[in-house]
Amino acid sequence: MAANPSAAACDDPRIVTRALAHIDLVALRHNLARVRACAPHSRVMAAVKANAYGHGAVPVARALVAAGTEALAVACVEEALELRAAGVQVPIVLLEGVLSAAEAQIAVDEKLQIAVHSPWQMELLQGACASAPLALWGLLNTGMNRLGFAPTEAGALAAAIAQHPAWRLHGWLTHLACADDTGAAETLRQQARFDAALEGLAGERSIANSAGLMAWPSTCADWVRPGLMLYGASPVAGQTAAALDLRPVMQFESRLIAVNAVGSGARVGYGATWSAPALTYIGIVAAGYADGVPRALPSGTPVAIGSRIVPTAGRVSMDMLAVDLGPDAREQVGDTVRLWGDGVPAEAMAARVGTIAYELFCGLGPRVRRIFHGGVGDGA
């Protein structure tokens, strides 16, 4: 939901949408099939936090559940409530657990599974829900040093949970810090610490994110927790999504709203950082950093117009960016410009500004309209 409705994507048919994110649920299902192929013996807990990485939590969750996804993972209670309100019934895991007694009660009422990561959370649950039916995951810190109990505390945590007859220890989670790096032995060290900590303890196990399940098959365990690969971006450093047979789910598009001839030496955009080497046509695209195109994007970043790849020219401004169409431009006002998606991977644009596709997807602005294609999420 957009914070400011007046700035949100508009459904009024009289209004031309400037920037669109086409969300291809067929591609999403294809990518889910890739998860199944890489982790044939694991169940899938799909990460749909952060509005399904900017793709639209409800339609994405519906499509994943209809395709057989066994569980969903979100960061917080609000995200889980949005899914429950939309009728999503599968188990939902709160990856950061709950932050208050009232949230714990919501988790009980909505049958949400809670990942407990810290002693203060156990105290909170013991105070607020000692006899309520809780489904818990124990989150262990095996080396990322972000969240989780120390591996040596796993036994005590299991015992503390077992003291409450209504509580159920569903399983154990850990999160990999370096799985995207196929040369980093840290992944196997984390796995070894996890396995050693849980020796003799009951409960299902979950280690792998997208990179883990694609690059480190031994981390697949009982449950895999893919996010990025479901959305069709490569989770593995140095490998393209196409090489991994992943299909981009999001096509982020805008349109040309002006095509202007400029002479040699003409400068374009704020700060006059780009100048035309010769006579050329400049196309003005109706999407800027308010829509999620990073302002730091350097001139020369490729975007697609039809089958043609053209470079950006000058600084990205709030609502627009410029592209160099060249001296023989055939493009016209109204033509569609693909900022990322087929032929122009989000990972490639992200790399140009020193970030990752996750951040581009999550940074889509509130006035970008999402249009869902190919599934149970249509029109949602």
Positions touching ligand PLP (CB under 6 A) are 47, 95, 175, 209-211, 225-228, 235
Q: Name every residue whose Cβ is closer than 8 Å to that of residue 46 and which is 6 or more positions away in sequence.
A: 32, 61, 64, 69, 71, 72, 73, 225, 226, 227, 230
The structure tokens 């009660």 sit at 105
Output DSSP code: residue 298.
P
Q: In a 10 Å sphere around its CB, with 0-12 CB exposed, 13-18 middle and 19+ buried, how is residue 340 labelled?
A: buried
CB-based contact 240:234 (threshold 8 Å):
yes
Q: Name every residue whose Cβ is closer than 8 Å to that of residue 348 and which is 6 or more positions away in sequence.
A: 302
In the complex with ligand PLP, the residue whose CB is nearer, 209 or 219, is 209
In the complex with ligand PLP, the residue whose CB is nearer, 36 or 308, is 36
Query: Which residue lies nearest ligand PLP, judged by its C-beta?
Result: 227
Output DSSP code: residue 338.
E
Q: What is the identity of the amino acid at 102? A: A
In the complex with ligand PLP, the residue whose CB is nearer, 97 or 235, is 235
In the complex with ligand PLP, the residue whose CB is nearer, 35 or 154, is 35
> How many H-runs (helices) and E-runs (strands) does the chain carry?
11, 18
CB-based contact 249:242 (threshold 8 Å):
no
Catalytic residues: 49, 270
User: Helix, strand, or coil here: 325?
Assistant: strand
d(CA 330, CA 293): 24
In the complex with ligand PLP, the residue whose CB is nearer, 172 or 281, is 172
Sign, Cα dihedral of 22, 27, 32, 35: negative
Cα torsion at 199, 204, 210, 214 (round to 10°)? 60
Q: How far is the CB of 228 from ligand PLP (least distance, A)?
A: 4
The structure tokens 């374009």 sit at 268
In the complex with ligand PLP, the residue whose CB is nearer, 285 or 364, is 364
d(CA 249, CA 77): 26
